[in-house]
A and B are shown apart, each in its own frame.
Chain A
Amino acid sequence: MLMEPGKKIEVRDLRLAYGAKEVIHGISFDAYRNEILGIIGPAQSGKTSLLRCFNRTIEFTPNVTVSGVIKVDGQEVSRVRNVYELRRKIGMVAPLPVGLPLSIYDNVAFAPRTAGMRAKSDLEGLVEKCLRQAALWDEVKDRLDSLGTKLSGGQQQRLTIARALSHQPEILCLDEFSIAIDPVTTMRIEDVLKELKKEMTIILVTNLVQQARRLAARTMFLWKGEIIEIGPTEVIFSDKPANRKTYEYVNGIFG
């Protein structure tokens, strides 16, 4: 498995089409270990579809053709032996907060349980650890039995993060996680991400360019299924990025 040291994800010439309509036109890029890679771009750029290719949940959408290579830790994702293990390696946070109709405890214990973990002591420790990491423990520690669906939006989003952390992923993908939650919770989650990058690689798709500026070391500007520019965040947000379009998007001239 020859892969440059430090690379977590390699994408080569990825193409994605829904039926006859191609939405990702042969993109290639890398994501390095323990970095936060920001992906910015207007709606319908292919950002969400890209994430779904990583953990192969794109396969649940009918009529989809994917070509190209995605490698995680040098292994091609389309050829892994156990796709569920791949999905457990990658944590995914969707734009809209989702609390499963289970107790908060069961929400976080769901992934370990489906992976076969049964020992109560293991589970309890894991649930607490994940809820703490997601900055939700203090608010719910006295009511772990209550339904996850009855939490507020901001709490449910943190619950989703706790769920994503519960299977100890090496990569965490966040897809516009802040669009449906309040600014205070967003700030708290951003602090969480800064902590988490010490342990894992984070791919942060966001429509708030300032969020990428705050968190990401490198940023990628994806527009209409093509990478316009990818590089250090300072360059992307400077007055002289490599591509004029980047400057225009970042400064709100279009998008």
Chain B
Amino acid sequence: MFTETPLIRRKLRNEFAAKCVFGLMALAMVIPLLVIVGYLFWKAFPLLSWDFLVTNPTNGMRKGGIWSAFLGTLYLVGISLCISAPIGVLAAVYLNEYARENWFTRIINLAVVNLAGVPSIVHALFGLGAFVLFAGMGRSIIAASLTLSIMTLPVIIASTKEALSAVPISFREACWNVGASRWQTIRHIVLPNSISGILTGVILQVSRTAGETAPIMFTGAVFFKKISEGNLFAYNLKDQCMALSMHLYTVTTQVTEAPAALPYAIATVLVVTVLAVNALSIGLRVYLRSRKKW
């Protein structure tokens, strides 16, 4: 009874054709990623080495390594996340655990969404107006970090909210029933059981912050700055600093007669760092999903 008729054969062919077409569209995403990373790596190859990472650029940045830029990026990322992570997590705690469903909460959520959509150059203008000028910090690591932290804040709020709401409400109700207060419930049950999701979100912001250029261009990142090599504390918070993203931009657009491999090498370091951090976050997510407590 159920033999293959020409109609069924045609349907299967149709189905296969549809699968191919849409599959090719998805492939159009995968291929650029592989090609780009591969190409960057290949052209950067002659310059990549451990030395490249830990020596300073010399000769107007045509020779030497990228230590000062790399360290600068570490500072910016570290400081900005130390500011935005706690505020973001607590803001999400408020939104998910305390806020009632009224117009005020709706406005806060709207503000988060809009903050997330602000163009990076507008963040730069804000940082310039608020931190560099109004607050008198001048162009400095601290001003740039504050600018970056406001940029990452909304995404941390959103991902933390998601992690918090994954904790079933029945747990909270069980705690309230035995006389625990809202904060006790959050502290002992909700937060410890969402820390994994929160961490995943924060780690993702690390890679985003490392790659941003516009917000730091006018608030603290600089073309060139000499610091001592191999010293993790070489930068002062009130100084300006170099940064990998800014370095790539300057070498590409403003340094003449640089060795061809140099910008590729910088781009490779940046991309590899960013992808490695993202992979860490994804790995963490997968690992924690397997260790679910309920």
A183 at the interface (CB under 8 A from B): no
A23-41 interface mask toward B, CB cutoff 8 Å, 1 = contact, 0 = none?
0000000000000000000
Tell me whether A192 is interfacial, beta carbon within 8 Å: no
Q: Is the CB of B178 within 8 A of A163?
A: yes
A-B contact pairs, 27 of them (CB 8 A): A55-B177, A84-B179, A84-B180, A84-B181, A86-B179, A87-B177, A87-B178, A88-B179, A91-B177, A91-B178, A94-B173, A94-B174, A98-B173, A100-B174, A100-B175, A110-B178, A110-B180, A110-B188, A111-B180, A114-B180, A115-B179, A149-B293, A160-B174, A163-B178, A164-B177, A164-B178, A167-B179
Query: Is A50 at the interface (CB under 8 A from chain B)?
Result: no
How many residues belonging to B are interface residues under a CB distance threshold of 8 Å?
Answer: 19
Asked if A147 lies at the interface with its beta carbon under 8 angstroms from chain B, I say yes
Complex partner residue of A110 from B100, B101, B175, B181, CB under 8 angstroms: B175
- Name B residues whose Cβ lies closer than 8 Å to a Cβ of A: 100-101, 170-171, 173-181, 184, 188-189, 193, 293-294
> How many angstroms from the CA of A163 to the CA of B175 in the assembled complex?
10
How close is B293's CB to chain A, nearest CB, in angstroms?
Answer: 4
- Is A53 part of the binding interface, using a Cβ–Cβ cutoff of 8 Å? no
**Closest residue to B181 on the A side, CB-wise?**
A84
Pairwise interchain contact B294-A101, C-beta atoms closer than 8 A: yes
A residues 48-101 near B (Cβ < 8 Å) are 55, 57, 60, 62, 84-88, 91-92, 94, 96, 98-101
User: How far is it, in angstroms, between the C-alpha of A99 and the C-alpha of B170 when the chains are bound?
Assistant: 9
Q: How many residues of A contact B (CB 8 A)?
A: 29
Query: Given the complex of chains A and B, what is the CA–CA distance between A86 and B180 in angstroms?
Result: 11
How far, in whole Å, are A102 and B170 apart by their CA atoms in the complex?
14
**Quick check: B170 and A101 within 8 Å, CB to CB?**
no
Nearest residue (CB) in A for B168 is A98
Interface residues of A in 165-196 (CB under 8 A from B): 166-167
Give residues of chain A (96-139) contacting chain B, Cβ–Cβ below 8 Å.
96, 98-102, 110-111, 114-115
Complex Cα–Cα for A223 and B33 (A):
64
Report yes or no: A87 in contact with B179, Cβ–Cβ below 8 A.
Answer: yes
With A84-B179, A101-B171 given, name 17 new contacts (CB 8 A): A60-B173, A84-B181, A87-B176, A88-B178, A94-B173, A98-B170, A98-B173, A100-B174, A100-B175, A100-B189, A101-B189, A101-B294, A111-B180, A114-B179, A163-B178, A164-B177, A167-B178
